[in-house]
Amino acid sequence: MENLLQPTGDQVRAFRNRQSGEPIAMLNLLKFKSHATYEDGRDSSLSGREAYALYAKNFREIMEPEGVTILYSGDVRGLLIGHGDDLWDAVALIRYPNTQVMLDMLRNEAYQAAQHHRAAGLEGQLLVECGEGFGF
């Protein structure tokens, strides 16, 4: 397992090829930097969590009008089953009306402009695509 900031080209192609037109949910497992570091070298007193919060605010403003919904977000407290404490700091479950909305987001200029806060705040993440199928 490896926390990263961006998908590979192969991952984006596979994501696009899986699209069904149905809603998807993206499980975000987030690991924050202790101190935000911006690529342009600006001096920042923000924590990684604070920088990511700026990205999250922009994300909501850009994507909620497109039908994207934050289903859940919260802090990771610890593991009940398994091993690997301190892998993630927070989680978010985000619903997209369909895959194309997320693909369009990646090309959206306003979204791209908000990415500097995301990159400054995140050490890495896992992004898990979830779809209909398993009934609990």
Which CATH number fits the domain that encloses residue 66?
A: 3.30.70.100
Residue 72, H or E segment? strand 69-75
135 in a domain, yes or no?
no
* Averaged pLDDT score across all residues of the chain: 94
Task: Give the pLDDT confidence of 122-133 residue by residue, as tens digits.
Answer: 999 999 999 988
> Residue 47's domain spans which residues?
20-129
Rounded-to-integer distance, Cα 13 and Cα 103, Å: 10
Rounded-to-integer distance, Cα 124 and Cα 121, Å: 9
Tokens of 8: 């590979």
80 in a domain, yes or no?
yes
87 in a domain, yes or no?
yes
Q: Report the half-sphere exposure of 37 (CA within 13 A, side-chain side).
A: 7
Q: For the chain, how many structural domains are there in total?
A: 1
Which pLDDT value is given to residue 42? 85
5 in a domain, yes or no?
no
Higher pLDDT, 46 or 7: 46
Q: For 71-78, which contacts have Cβ atoms below 8 Å and span 24 or more sequence positions?
A: 71/25, 71/95, 76/29
136 in a domain, yes or no?
no
11 in a domain, yes or no?
no
Which pLDDT value is given to residue 120? 97
pLDDT level of residue 51 (50, 70, 90 thresholds) = very high
The DSSP output letter for 6 is S
When pLDDT is averaged across residues 111-129 and rounded to a whole number, the result is 95
Task: Give the pLDDT confidence of 26-44 residue by residue, as tens digits.
Answer: 999 999 999 999 999 888 9
53 in a domain, yes or no?
yes
